[in-house]
Amino acid sequence: MATITPAVNPNKVAGLGRWLVKVALPFVVAGLEDAFSDGVGQAAPADDVQWRRVNWRFTRLTPATTVEDVAMFGFDVVNMTGGNIDSSWTAGDYTAVDAAMTELWGVLQGLVSSSHTLTEIQYHARSFHHDLPIGAGVPQLQPGSTKEVNRFARSGPPLHVLTKNAAGGVPGQALPYQNAMSVTFRTAARKHWGRCYIPGLAIADMTGTNGRFASATCTAVANAFAECASDLGANDFFIMVPSTQNDSKYATSLQSVKEIVVDDVPDVIRRRRPKQASIKAVGVATP
C-alpha cells in the first residue's frame, strides 16, 4: 500500500473531488495549488502505486463476408483504503466495482444500437513505467530507437473480467462505427482532463435537424457517469486521470475528477472505421 502524505480528502458521497497525488518527484503544480482544494499529497513508495484500467469491449455487426475488430472504451479507477492507495484488489473489491459498472450499463444499453454487443468489461493492472525519466524534457527516446520512452508499464492480461454478452437496446439504426459520444473527465488542471468515447449509439439519440446528440441523451449519459462515480466513491474507489507530464517534463500523478461533462458534438474515432468494404461500385456513365 502506498501512503499519501499529507492526506487528501476524497468526497466519498459524490465520488468526485479536487485532489492530486504526486507519484514521483519533481512535480510542480505551478499556480494550481489552490485549485486542488481537497489536498495535494505525495505517494510513497512510488513502486506500489497501481490502479485498474476498466475496459469495455463491444462486438459489432458487419455485412456478410466482412469481419471487424471490437470497439472499446475505458477509464481509470483507483482503490483508496484508509486514505492511501491500495494496489491489492480483493474479490470483494471487484464485486463492488462490477455493481457500479452494471448500473452504468443499464443506462447506456438503452441508448446503444442492437448492432453493438457489450461482451465483457476487463480490469487491467495499471502503473507508471519505472524507467520513465522523471524531470527530463518531453519527449525522450528509447536508446537506439525513434520511439518515445514508455510512460506506463505493460499491463498484461486482465486480472478480472465481468462477462456481459448484452446487445444494445435500440433495434438497428446504428450510427457509423466511427461516430462516438465523448465523456470528459474534468480535473482541476485543464491540461490534464481525460476522456472516453462511447461507441454504438443509435440514430434515435440524435436530433432530427442538425446532426448533434439530443439534449436528453447528453443528460442521461452525464448523469449515469456521475452516479457511477458516486457509487464507486461510497466504496472507496475513485475515477481519476493518471498524468505523465507537467510543464513539458515527465512527472507522474493521479488527479481526481471534479466533474463529468457530456456535450452534443459527435466525435470521430478513426480507428473504429470499418476495415473492409462490402460494396465497391465502379461508376458507369448512363446515356
Q: What is the pLDDT of residues 107-164, one digit of tens each?
A: 999 999 999 999 999 999 999 999 999 989 999 888 888 889 999 999 999 999 999 9
Torsions phi, psi for 60 (to 5 deg)? -130, 135
Percentage of the chain exceeding pLDDT 90: 78
**Residues near 213 by beta carbon (within 8 Å), at least 6 away in sequence:** 181, 201, 205, 206, 207, 263, 264, 265, 266
C-alpha cell at 115: 448492432
208 in the Ramachandran plot: left (φ > 0), alpha (ψ -120 to 50) or beta? alpha
The total number of residues shown for the chain amounts to 287
Q: Is the pLDDT of residue 244 over 90?
A: yes
Sorted by sequence, the CB contacts under 8 Å of residue 209 that are 6+ apart come out as none
Phi and psi at 121, nearest 5°, equal: -120, 115
The one-letter amino acid at 43: A
Say if residue 157 is preceded by a cis peptide, omega within 30 of 0: no
Please provide the average confidence, as pLDDT, over all residues in the chain. 93
The strand pairing partners of 58, in sequence order, are 71, 118
In this prediction the pTM is: 0.94
Q: Which of 59-63, 93-97, 268-272 has maximum average pLDDT?
A: 93-97
Whether the predicted pLDDT of 29 surpasses 80: no
pLDDT at 67 over 90: no
Rounded Cα distance between 217 and 207, Å, is 10
Q: Which three cell numbers stand for residue 155?
A: 499491463
**What pLDDT is stored for residue 68 in this prediction?**
86
